[in-house]
Chains A and B, each alone.
Chain A
């Protein structure tokens, strides 16, 4: 296929993906708004007001970056895993598999769909946060870079999940048993300095910790860990997942008998 043809194929998937989550916005966008509002209200306002500052920030300001990033992670992952699994389940992924479009284009289409939803929900959650506190971006480009790279990373992860999934249960197991715990333990609600050295070392194995801290650095200018290190870790995970997704597609794992 020529580059122009590849771009048309890519655009076809992206537009379809965006229309899909926009059409079912009550399932795709509203839940994030409700949960994050509750976080802001309960942890930020009610409980947070009883707590002292962390790193010189009020508790609600401290947790806002992590909560935004949490919605980015959940929505990027959730969009790709449910959409691509749906394509597999109803077999209309075959429409793409018979076509000459390269695997990288197929993957990019779904990933950009996931990123689009993550950006929409992330923006809405940021807007909601402005009702509870003053939002401020210390390093706007770092913030944007973290959001976009994280969204790509978890879109790819959602894709892997969908490839291996054989039932609708399989697409909720990883989010429930892996993603949510990692996110909660990734320092959204606390600074790892609050942990004992032992648990601090364990926490450092959690990739989400690096993203949450990079995000917090972008918005507040503080981080538990070195920001360069955070980007390196995100980059390594991205490259590995991308390569793995292409490997899965090339061999037709979960797609071709």
Chain B
């Protein structure tokens, strides 16, 4: 059974000699919910651009549902739906027309296209806006419009390039629910993000790309299990001026009533609490310092990943 997507030795050098992709290979199985994670400039959009025929590759080969993108372009293309990183619709075109015309480019008769567009726009909460010009939509609505447009030809493989950047939390959650639902119904989904919670919440498999190279490609669970340590932030009831010592733990004082505690995989949080209780210190609340994936990313690349998504 062919994979939903199979990338072999893909390289891309732009005209300005930037080597955006340095020989990447990737296999994504049918039905997967896959995260392509990496910092800005890692090469995510370049890879997606090549898969979707918007960027010329330098070398390598790509198969979509078994169809080679060079040899059976039509077939391969008809399997893919793309939600690009940047808005790329005609802002002076009404919402409904954008979706129906996109179906037209795939050869879907207008009547059928109109039915599908209605269904999708209703599901994505855009039906009331169908007659509005695209430029009148909010950022989150524009994003959802691109999702509707990408799905109108019922693709087997949906690719989303940073779909929730700049989208507020509530809309983001409802988009997650929507994506999980279509994935459940059988659509393979590939998502790039540098909003880390998103990858962690949604995706089963993950590849990490940095500087045009895939530095990790595994199950999300396996990856998270490899975390050596987790850092917790503890808020104290008391004010202190000296770091409480707990043998074997790295503890730092962030301010007079906040501690950061690094807990290794073979340690437990209990010991820390026991020790703090003995010192008569009371913990009022506790949270993770950063997303677990973020810590992993720092481990793997030595780089801080920039998470500019709000919330």
Contact = CB atoms under 8 A, between A and B. Distances in A.
Interface of A: 1-2, 4-6, 8-9, 11-13, 16, 86-87, 90-92, 94-102, 251-252, 256-257
A86 B91 CA distance: 11
Q: Is the interface of B mostly helix, strand, loop or mixed?
A: loop
Contacts of A257: 14-15, 49, 55-56
Contacts of A256: 53-56
A98 B77 contact: yes
B104 interface: yes
Given A12-B110, A98-B77, A102-B74, 4 more contacts: A9-B104, A94-B84, A251-B56, A256-B55
Q: Which of B55, B105, B153 has the most chain A CB within a 10 Å cutoff? A: B105
Contact of B101 (A2, A16, A94): A16
Interface of B: 14-15, 49, 52-56, 73-75, 77-78, 80, 82, 84, 86-91, 93, 98, 101-102, 104-110, 149, 153
Given A100-B73, A100-B74, A100-B77, A94 B105 contact: no
Given A94-B54, A98-B53, A98-B54, A9 B91 contact: no
A96 B104 CA distance: 10
A8 B54 contact: no
A102 B55 CA distance: 17
Given A91-B86, A92-B88, A99 B56 contact: no
Contact of A90 (B91, B101, B102, B105): B91
Contacts of A98: 52-54, 77, 80, 82
Contacts of B87: 91
Given A1-B74, A97-B53, A98-B77, A12 B88 contact: no
A104 B104 CA distance: 16
A9 B110 CA distance: 10
Nearest to B89: A92
8 contacts: A5-B107, A8-B107, A98-B82, A100-B106, A101-B105, A101-B106, A256-B54, A257-B14
Contacts of B74: 1, 100, 102
